[in-house]
Amino acid sequence: MHVPSSALDNQQKIPGFCIFGAPKCGTTALSEYLRNNPSVYMSSPKELHHFCDDLSIPGRIAAREDYLRVFSPATQRHLAVGEASPLYLLSESAARNLHAFNPQARIIVMLRATPEYLYSYYRHLFFLGDEDQASFEAAWQAQEDRKSGKIPYPSGCREPKRLDYFWAGRLGLHVQRLLTHFPASQLKFVFFEDFAGDPRGVYREVLEFIGARDDGSQEFPKINRAQQSRSLWLAQGLRRIPQPLVARAASVKRSLGVGRLSLTGWLNRLNTREADPDRLDPATRAALTDRFGEDIALLSRLTGRSLDHWRQP
């Protein structure tokens, strides 16, 4: 394990597993279930994105010493130590960087039918303010125009590559890249439909995979439901606050010992509600399954799982 000698001298626990994404495929729910297990230490904050240095991600912990510090509270009672960063799977450098840090790391990959995954991913980006197109179909059509400069990227977009839905949707390609750095024996694929249908069973399998104890949990509430803003104008305004000002405010709060007090956080929570039920248009779904047909077939071969049902309406 390529970690600083100071960390080893102090017998600090380092992450032995990572939930690699993909986004909107159950990563938050699984990480929270694991967080409640006494034998598991999950990072706080949840999304560190330390290893994906090819993407611009707000809040990413870049420095190795800061990354290791996140895990310093882990003790000997924690049999498994890990983190969950959903953009790791989409990153072109995360797997390589993680392997250089810990080649024995175990990786949990969350997967979901490509059309539903992309639609949920789009809605999340729209909620965050990275996307400004009011429908998935419009956002899909805008991809090439944005790349060519014909239309600008949204002012709130923090990483333009995230709005490349064709790139994000190629789950087979991303898994294939991951497998060039880690053997299949160190990967566990969790499919969204299995997780939703039998959360207890999947939870137990994951605990065995990462070497943690089964705490007998029977309650698995739904976590991270789709969200939307009550006022899009307010949401966009809050997300356009200059980052240097945000950093300065955080520094002042730390010096005053009021780290949990956040006016913008309070306003964001007040302005957020659970999203109205919505479904992907059947014609759009059919077009997506056709466009990603080869990639879905590749993912099926790599995971050893029949994904024919992903093509059904």
Task: Answer yes or no: is pLDDT of 235 > 60.
Answer: no
Q: 82-91, pLDDT tens digit by residue?
A: 999 999 999 9
Q: Is the peptide bond before 45 cis (omega within 30 degrees of 0)?
A: yes
Q: Where are the beta strands (DSSP E) in the chain?
A: 17-19, 40-42, 80-84, 106-111, 187-191, 227-229, 272-274
Q: Please give the order of strands across the beta sheet that includes 80-84.
A: 40-42, 80-84, 17-19, 106-111, 187-191
Backbone dihedral angles phi then psi of residue 23, each to the nearest 5 degrees: -60, 150
The answer to whether 79 touches 159, Cβ cutoff 8 Å, is: no
Q: Where in the chain is the domain with CATH 3.40.50.300?
A: 5-113+165-223+291-311
Relative orientation angle of helices 114-128 and 282-291, to the nearest 10 degrees: 110
Q: What topology is assigned to 5-113+165-223+291-311 in CATH?
A: Rossmann fold (3.40.50)
User: Under the phi-then-psi rule, with left for phi > 0, alpha for psi from -120 to 50, and beta for the rest, what region is 229?
Assistant: beta
What's the full length of the chain, in residues?
313
Q: 248-286, pLDDT tens digit by residue?
A: 665 555 456 555 555 555 555 565 555 455 689 999 999
* Rounded mean pLDDT, 20-37: 95
Q: What share of the chain in percent tops pLDDT 90?
A: 73
Question: What mean pLDDT, rounded, does the chain reach?
Answer: 87
* Rounded mean pLDDT, 82-101: 97
As given in the structure block, the two tokens for residue 200 are: 């207890």
